[in-house]
Amino acid sequence: MQDSNEPHEQEDALIQEDRVWQGQGWTARVIKNEDDDGWAVAMIKDGEPEPALVGPWTMGRDKKNPKPLDISAFHTLVKTANEVLRRHEQQLHARLHKNVRVTTDDGPVTVKLDIVPDEDDAYAILSAVDQYGDELASVRVRPDFKLSPTSASDWIEDGFRKPR
């Protein structure tokens, strides 16, 4: 068997039916909407137990059964599901990594708060970097430390001692 045929054979093994369509690392599954008489589509990323996206799905012409999945609809669903995941990642990053810029007599200082989530021992690292990128200080703080321009200035003025 030639190596060049393997990816093609794998693609052929994917399900591409009216209510289930696989490809590009995703499975689209048309499901009965439990809340009403309509249909929904669930987008499940390969290897994940839960759908990344569930949305309404169009009824077919008979107004009873769902419209069949096709390649065009599937590509649109993959694009939308990838965008949803990207936004979730951005929100998580924004929640875990914050920074403020404070003006001091020695120039601007960027104070960063990097939260390390952990079910048993979550914590955060509070650090300060000068305008040249040199680290001025770094301390471990509680993960619920509230970083603001005021708290950053207070920390700097207190000689970078661990906040209480």
Would you say residue 105 has pLDDT above 80? Answer: yes
C-alpha distance from residue 99 to each of 4, 19, 128 (Å): 49, 46, 9
Question: Residue 87 is which amino acid?
Answer: R
Q: Under a CB-based contact definition with an 8 Å cutoff, are residues 30 and 36 in contact? A: no
Convert the pLDDT of each residue in 24-61 to its tens digit. 999 999 999 877 778 999 999 999 999 999 999 999 88
**Cα separation, 82 vs 26, whole angstroms:** 10
pLDDT band at 14 (very low <50, low <70, confident <90, very high): confident
**pLDDT (0 to 100) of residue 33:** 83
Binning pLDDT at 50, 70 and 90, where does residue 9 land?
Answer: very low
Q: Half-sphere exposure of residue 6, counting CA atoms within 13 Å on the CB side? A: 4
Percentage with pLDDT > 90 across the chain: 80
Q: Give residue-wise pLDDT tens across range 119-152.
A: 899 999 999 999 999 999 999 999 999 999 999 9
- Using a cut of 0.95, tell me whether the model's pTM lies above it: no
127-161 residues labelled b (16+ CB within 10 A) or e (exposed): bbbeeeeeeebeeebeeebebeeebbbebbeeebe
Length of the chain: 164
At residue 82, the pLDDT reads 97
